[in-house]
Amino acid sequence: MNTKGLRQRELCDRLGLNYKSVAQFARQLGLSTHAYLQQQTGWILRDERYYPPETQFKD
């Protein structure tokens, strides 16, 4: 597992998403940017960092 994870803007950059557009779309849907990105990308938000969908966490 990548223990570092990605910050929200880093995830947008990696996936080629415009951060301002993401925020605008999220707002239009009544979602937080966190919820919107998880819904659209499948990436997992944990402790303010995003991880790929296949990530397994050990608690």
pLDDT, tens digit, 9 for 90 and up, residues 1-59? 446 899 999 999 999 999 999 999 999 999 999 999 999 999 999 999 999 999 988 87
Which residues form the domain of 19? 8-51
**Count of structural domains, the chain:** 1
28 found inside a domain: yes
pLDDT of residue 58: 85
44 found inside a domain: yes
25 found inside a domain: yes
57 found inside a domain: no
2 found inside a domain: no
35 found inside a domain: yes
36, 58, 59 from 39: Cα distances, Å = 5, 23, 23
Q: How much is the pTM?
A: 0.83
Burial per residue of 24-48, b for 16 or more beta-carbon CB atoms within 10 angstroms, e otherwise: ebbeeeeeebeebbbeebebebeee
59 found inside a domain: no
